Amino acid sequence: MVARFEWRASLCAPDFPVAAYEGLRLRVTDHTPFNTLAWLYASEQALTAGACLHVLLGWQGDELALCLPLVASVERFGRLPFRVLRHLGYPLTDRLALLTCLDADSMRKALVIIRRRLPHAMLQLNELSEPIGEESALTTWMAHSSTGERRLSCRVPVHLISEADRQEVSGDPRYKLRRARKRILAYGAQVRRITPDATTVGPLLQMLGEVEMQSWKGIQGIGIFTNERSRQWIELAFTALAEQGLMRVVRLELNGRCISYRLGLLEQGRLYDYNLAFLPQYADLGSGRVLLDEWIRWGLDDNWHWIDASRVSLMNSSHQLQERMTGQLEHWRWSFYSWRPSGLALGLTMRLWHQLKPWLKKWRAWRAAMQAVAAPTPTHADQGPAPTEKTMEGKNASPSHNQR
């Protein structure tokens, strides 16, 4: 069936086909909470002044077969401005499914329509998950771009919940979990499960934001509640998701005060571990590992199937779920550079950069090695006292910058 396309200026418009969108979302089996209209509404309302939303819809008869909300903005690469298109939700969206049921020929037509309506240098779609063993609908766009790139964004650890989880975990994680539980018990703190609704989500989000602002994330300015734009986005999104029953929180309380938490989204029996934070004075408790174990126990009680780290860093990730993971899922970043002069220039620059990057990495490693050889060897007196058990524990308990 021949697809017909139309543009919409907003997802929040009263005449947006909500029922058709939900039908499409449910037909795409690997959809995530970040594909829900609740998340996308909040993303749209948090757009900055220089960004403009364009929603491409593709229809086959009366059935919606494509919804691609694109944000057009100007980004700088090497101090030069380029017009860029990204999927609505970047950069706070952790995992997306491409909502399309179109065939390759219709997808090629969609790319032509996008380029005519929205001239750009680069179209980039981040954090896309893809069904295993199936060719992506975006593959056809590669051949029609001046430069096309499919690059691994991250490998996410996942844990399949099973009856074996009722038994105590084995190996080194068991020792770490036992030690953390003993410390928490000594403090008198308690773990609590929370499923917020429309009436309780507001005060809960305020409390979580206060904890994060005092944590290392707040101090370094990288938390989801840190700046006004992301805070507005998160509060709008999670309020709507809580109203739909998709939000879950496990938190550690001391005398009724939250000192640590993990925030997640639950859909299709899969819990996405989205964010965690803790007060710095309680860093030595190891609460994150205990709260992660509580996710798994909650999943056993409520018949969840999976616990996912919704996103991790590609290199040097230290997410605690890696100690318990039973598999991994891959996220991909697709980049398509147009045939416009700006697209040709940016695509060529990116190709050259990827060729030079390994050499630059080797040169930096060689330079660091040469500096280490040239540096004077410290005497025994300069080395200071040997680290105590307490200082080593504090070092191991320091937060990972790769974990949201």
- Residue 391 belongs to some domain of the structure: no
Please give the pLDDT value at position 355.
85
Candidates 86, 66, 99; CA nearest to 126 is 86
Is 182 found in the same domain as 78?
Answer: no
Is 175 found in the same domain as 134?
Answer: no
Whether 3 and 59 have beta carbons less than 8 Å apart is answered as yes
- Residue 123 belongs to some domain of the structure: yes
For residue 13, give the CATH number of its domain. 3.40.630
User: In terms of DSSP bridges, do strands 80-87 and 122-128 run parallel, antiparallel, or are they unpaired?
Assistant: parallel
Whether 88 and 96 have beta carbons less than 8 Å apart is answered as no
How far is Cα 163 from Cα 161, in angstroms, rounded to an integer? 7
DSSP string, 207-262: HHHHHHHHSHHHHHT-STTSSHHHHHHHHHHHHHHHHTT-EEEEEEEETTEEEEEE
Kindly list the distances between the CA atom of residue 335 and the CA atoms of 142, 147, 165, 330, in Å, as whole numbers in the listed order. Answer: 9, 8, 40, 16
For residue 185, give the CATH number of its domain. 3.40.630.30
Note the maximum CA span of the chain: 80
Helix (H, G, I), strand (E, B) or coil at 197: coil
Kindly list the distances between the CA atom of residue 212 and the CA atoms of 92, 183, 227, 266, 345, in Å, as whole numbers in the listed order. Answer: 16, 22, 12, 21, 41
Please give the pLDDT value at position 204.
97
Residue 13, token pair as written in the block: 């418009």
Which residue, of 346, 378, 397, is where some domain finishes?
A: 346
Structural domain for 119, as ranges: 4-155+330-346
Kindly list the distances between the CA atom of residue 227 and the CA atoms of 45, 72, 143, 216, in Å, as whole numbers in the listed order. Answer: 15, 22, 40, 14
Is 119 found in the same domain as 16?
Answer: yes
DSSP string, 79-131: TEEEEEEEETTTTT---B---B---HHHHHHHHHHHHHHS--SEEEEEEE---
Is 232 found in the same domain as 342?
Answer: no
Is 46 found in the same domain as 144?
Answer: yes
Please give the pLDDT value at position 378.
57
User: In terms of DSSP bridges, do strands 52-60 and 63-77 run parallel, antiparallel, or are they unpaired?
Assistant: antiparallel
Please give the pLDDT value at position 384.
47
Mean pLDDT for the chain? 90
- CB within 8 Å of 162: residues ≥ 6 apart: none
- Residue 36 belongs to some domain of the structure: yes
- Residue 270 belongs to some domain of the structure: yes
Bond from prior residue into 173 cis (ω within 30 degrees of 0): no
Is 14 found in the same domain as 88?
Answer: yes
User: What's the number of domains the chain is made of?
Assistant: 2
Helix (H, G, I), strand (E, B) or coil at 143: coil
Is 142 found in the same domain as 213?
Answer: no
Is 182 found in the same domain as 123?
Answer: no
Kindly list the distances between the CA atom of residue 93 and the CA atoms of 14, 41, 127, 235, 308, in Å, as whole numbers in the listed order. Answer: 24, 13, 8, 14, 14
Is 198 found in the same domain as 66?
Answer: no
- Residue 367 belongs to some domain of the structure: no
Is 11 found in the same domain as 145?
Answer: yes
- Residue 127 belongs to some domain of the structure: yes
- Residue 358 belongs to some domain of the structure: no
Is 169 found in the same domain as 36?
Answer: no
How far is Cα 157 from Cα 155, in angstroms, rounded to an integer? 7
User: What one-character DSSP code corresponds to residue 272?
Assistant: E
pLDDT digits (tens, 9 = 90+) for 355-389: 888 888 888 888 888 888 887 765 544 444 443 33
Q: What is the pLDDT along the chain (404 residues), one digit of tens a residue?
A: 789 999 999 999 999 999 999 999 999 999 999 999 999 999 999 999 899 999 999 999 999 999 999 999 999 998 899 999 999 999 999 999 999 999 999 999 999 999 999 999 999 999 999 877 778 999 999 999 999 999 999 999 999 999 999 998 888 889 999 999 999 999 999 999 999 999 999 999 999 999 999 999 999 999 999 889 999 999 999 999 999 999 999 999 999 999 999 999 999 999 999 999 999 999 999 999 999 999 999 999 999 999 999 999 888 788 999 999 999 999 999 999 999 999 999 999 888 888 888 888 888 888 888 888 887 765 544 444 443 333 323 333 333 334 45
Is 32 found in the same domain as 143?
Answer: yes
- Residue 401 belongs to some domain of the structure: no
